[in-house]
Structure 1
Amino acid sequence: MAAAAACKRVGLLGRNSGIGLYGFGVCGSSQLLSPAFRYPDLDYRQISQLVKSNGKRLFLVDTLALVRRLEGQGVPSKQAEAITAAITEVLNDSLENVSQSFVSKAEMQRIEMIQESNLSKFKSEVQNSQGNHFSLLQHETEKLRNDIEKMRSELRFEIDKVTAGQRLDLNLERGRIREELSNQNAETTNLTNKLDREIHALRAHLEAAKYDVIKYCIGTLVSISAVGLAVLRILM
């Protein structure tokens, strides 16, 4: 706002006094307002002065033409110089305020480069972080896979060990049962054979006793017959 007001005041003063200034886009135009075009009857020489603004920027102001124009309007030389110095100072302050309000192209490029550098750095950090996280995740996954395989191997070994133990116990128990069955079969066979032998011996004893009874009966009958015949013979 201060820069716009200063530009308006300088423009009014230039229109009233026929001042020619070289602008740099501050008051909305970069064209030369030369008094040779607006006041052809005036003797004008394009003598310019470089005015340094706070040691930072340089602005081109035609102070000689401004002083001559003021003198041509009846302003004393010292007053004309004072007015010129004041206008130059106001212009410099206005341009300085404008330059402080806006950023230069070089500064914008520098900021863009810094932002691009920061963005590239951020992308690199994100990529590195993702790479590290992915590598860590792969390492953890591989570790878990190895642990699972190890546990699976241990479990298979334990299962095989228990199965082998049970199989061995079953085989031993089967062999023991077979041995007991064999022993019982042998004992049963021995008992059967013993019973058969005893039965045969009893049968032999019975046969012998039967023969003895028959023999005793026959002897007894023969003896009774002999006695009866003897008694009959005696009686007769």
Structure 2
Amino acid sequence: MQRVATIATEAAVSLARRRTPRPFPALTRGLRASHPCADFHFDTHQFVQRLEREGLNRAQAEGIMAAMAEVIDESIRNMTSNMVTKADQEKHHYTQQVDFAQLKSELQLTEKNELAMVKAENDRLVTDIEKLKQRLREEITRTQAGVRLDLNLEKGRVREESSKQELKMKEVDTRIEQEIANLRTSIQGSKATTLQYLVGFVTGCSALLMAYLRFRV
């Protein structure tokens, strides 16, 4: 019996691996009478023969095979009850396609809206930048005009200061020239006076010398 259970287990495992219906009509007359509408999923005839080779008689082998067929059919029904039909799968696929198309349309619309917003923001930034550039140019122009005015005023002040310094220098030169002229006049007067004193002194000395010489002679 342990050997029969092992064979039954192997048959169930083999069926679970295949999971593909394979009807085999090679059944005895008694099996067809017992299961007139059965749709077997494994080779029942070969399974019965294998049980007979293991020492079971025909009735025992067919009984075990029938029980195995019922268990396998029940297992397959339980498995197929949880499976999705092709129609449901196609419906789900169509629903997914519709959802995908809707999502794609929403994404495209969102992208267009975001693109329009980005473009509007970019245009606004460009406008702001142009305004800033214009204000900067105006500010630079005013600054340059102010600097030029300050430079011109400073140049005028420097010219006036330079003119005043030139006038002062001319006045100083004039005073120096006058002082030099006065000094020359004083020197000339001193020279004349000194020359007169010298001539008078020489004349007096000469007269004294002549008088002395006359007195000696």
Give the TM bin, normalised by the shorter chain.
Answer: 0.3 to 0.5
Report which structure shows greater RCO (CA 8 Å, sep ≥6). Answer: 1
Larger fraction in helix: 2
Larger fraction in strand: 1
